[in-house]
A and B are shown apart, each in its own frame.
Chain A
Amino acid sequence: MPAPLNIEQLYRTHGRSVRRRARAILGNDAEANEVLQDVFASLVSQPAQLDGVRSPTAFLYGATTHRCLNLIRNSKNRLRLLQENTTVDERDDTKNPETRSVAKSVLASLDETSAKAAVYYYVDEMSHAEIATMLDCSRRHVGNLLQRVAASVDRSEPASC
């Protein structure tokens, strides 16, 4: 039987990746820290979430994505996102501002599964196989989800020559 996870240690070893991804998805330090605290507060309150988890990193990726999407879906936050300039946060690990724009404006309009697929694909640059594992679905379904996301991106992009 694996040793029980020490959540304090988990925070030290994984907290930065949680915060990094939250920043990349939300583009906002304060909200990223809020997500960081939420994710680990949830683990303190419900440590059983980690029972049987093979990769705490993957679990935290999922938990972080879920909370970030909840924040984005918040109507107040969505309004802010729509009005916000897509200025580059220097500490944002998402290297391409276009990627961040996708992650911020398109996510709010997608269903949850598609939004998660978009985060994993555009922000984390996961392969279809990895996304399939994260979402517990087939690679084919991932392809369909990403097509849906791409169509949404196409609709959101201004026409260009």
Chain B
Amino acid sequence: MLNENPAAPRSEDCLSDLQLDELQVGELKGEDLDAATSHLETCARCQVRRDELAADEEALPPLQLPGGPSEAPAPTPIRRGDRRLGVIVVGILAAAAVVFFILRRPPAPRPGDGSKAPLIAATRLKGGASIGAYVQREGRVEAWAAGDPLHSGDALSFTYSTDIDQTLGVFLVQDRTIEILHQDDGKTAFVRRGRDIELGLAIELDADDAHEVAVAVFCLDPTPTKVLRLSLAVDPSAKKLPPGCGATALSLRRTP
């Protein structure tokens, strides 16, 4: 049925938005393509709708894969239901953390400790921000820095330092599988200025020998952690983080 009135209701033969979208990106083939183009030539309603869809030129947020995905390492599929995390998030170990930190006060984390981690090539951290960790092993608690030995069964408790009030999200990265470990209502959590502040996040390393990295993203303002996770997914070097955000990382590679 021809439709010469752009304001007329959609007829059975009219193209759906799906078909118009497929046509626009060249996914219609063969008979489907012929039928769609033939209909479009004679249907004012569909022509108008096609033009409406094509008129959306609002910029998309940047999404660039370093070197293109075909050159990137093969991502590891996420199977949230059964995926075996390399570490087990212990969570906010309220009572346990107290014991953990009473045993030994942490020394000041060294800014830049995370630079040894392989994922983060450059950081844009504000306020001298850094993260540190303590390891609990066989009943002892010791300061831990990037590069120090790690073994399955170790429990790591994280601290942070910053000279300014800002916000923090912590992620666990394995290949391109990224889990959010620390946030507040879907956004980076507020962190008050100070040194060696207990984050309330502890993880226990399991026997998985996959290379994992804890990435801390500091942002001046609360930032959706899903945005940050996407930024890290498309660019593990953390160069695509939103303005006002910077990252540092701790490699959690187990010592052979």
User: In the bound complex, how far is the Cα of B70 from the Cα of A4, in angstroms?
Assistant: 8
Chain B contact residues: helix, strand, loop or mixed: loop
Chain B nearest CB from A13 CB (Å) reads 5
On whether the beta carbons of B77 and A61 are closer than 8 Å, the reply is no
State how many angstroms separate the Cβ of A143 from the closest Cβ of chain B. Answer: 14
Check A6 for interface membership: any CB of B closer than 8 A: yes
With A34-B226, A44-B176 in contact, do A16 and B18 touch (Cβ < 8 Å)?
A: no
Interfacial chain A residues near B53, Cβ < 8 Å = 17, 20, 93
Indicate if the CB atoms of B78 and A46 lie closer than 8 Å: yes
Chain B residues with a Cβ closer than 8 Å to the other chain, count:
36
Which residues on A sit within 8 Å (CB–CB) of B184? none
Known: A17-B21, A37-B230. A45 touches B178 (CB 8 A): yes
**A7 at interface, CB cutoff 8 A:** yes
Are A7 and B226 closer than 8 Å at their CB atoms? no
Which residues in chain A, 18-47, are within 8 Å of chain B measured between CB atoms?
A: 19-21, 33-34, 36-38, 40-41, 44-47
Q: A20 → chain B, closest Cβ, in Å?
A: 6
Q: B230 touches which one: A16, A21, A40, A55 (CB < 8 A)?
A: A40
Size class of the contact patch on chain A? 35 or more
- B-binding segment of A78-86, A98-106, A125-133: A125-133
Which of A8, A12, A44 is B68 in contact with, Cβ under 8 Å? A8
**Interface residue? A48 (CB, 8 A):** yes
C-alpha spacing A124/B18, complex, angstroms: 7
* Least distance between A98 CB and chain B CB atoms (Å): 14
Interface residues of B, Cβ cutoff 8 Å to A = 10, 12, 16-19, 21-22, 25, 27, 52-53, 56, 58, 60-61, 63-65, 68-70, 75-78, 176-178, 224, 226-227, 229-230, 233-234
List the 6 closest A-B pairs by CB distance, nearest first. Answer: A41-B230, A15-B60, A11-B63, A44-B233, A126-B16, A57-B22
